[in-house]
């Protein structure tokens, strides 16, 4: 069982920045593929970014060039740096871990981009 706890969400003005953090339990974090997803009201959950155990990264087209995913294996943490935020980035953001034992989700953190 892997527990994921997100933090760092909040209200920010368009053009602003936020950094989301996800802390994971377990001793095999370095082996997990980690991702960030988001879900806006009325929409399906969508992939925002992921990072493999080897450090390969990929991004949704809508956030490429603005968001950066990174991981700190020594701290069992994955980060999502979000810059140049837009109102359409407003959503609940979820951390995701893919392990050999299964897929796990955090409880989500709200990000609201509004003036």
Cβ distance 65 to 74 under 8 Å? no
Give the whole-angstrom CA distance, residue 38 versus residue 40: 7
Contacts of 50 (CB under 8 A, 6+ apart): 33, 34, 35, 36, 57, 58, 69, 96
Residue linked to tokens 């925002």: 48
Structure confidence by residue, pLDDT tens digits, 45-73: 999 999 999 999 999 999 999 999 999 99
Structure confidence by residue, pLDDT tens digits, 58-113: 999 999 999 999 999 999 999 999 999 999 999 999 999 999 989 999 999 999 99
Tell the burial category of 48 from Cβ atoms under 10 Å away from its Cβ (0-12, 13-18, 19+).
Answer: buried
């Amino acid at each position: 069982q892997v527990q994921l706890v997100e933090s760092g969400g909040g209200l920010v003005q368009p053009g602003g920045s936020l950094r989301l953090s996800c802390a994971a339990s377990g001793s095999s974090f370095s082996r997990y593929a980690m991702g960030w997803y988001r879900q806006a009201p009325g929409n399906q959950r969508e992939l925002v970014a992921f990072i493999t155990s080897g450090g390969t990264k990929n991004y949704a087209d809508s956030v490429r060039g603005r968001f950066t995913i990174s991981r700190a294996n020594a701290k069992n943490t994955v980060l999502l740096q979000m810059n140049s935020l837009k109102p359409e980035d407003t959503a609940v953001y979820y951390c995701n871990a893919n392990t050999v034992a299964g897929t796990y989700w955090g409880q989500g953190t709200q990000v609201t981009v509004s003036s």
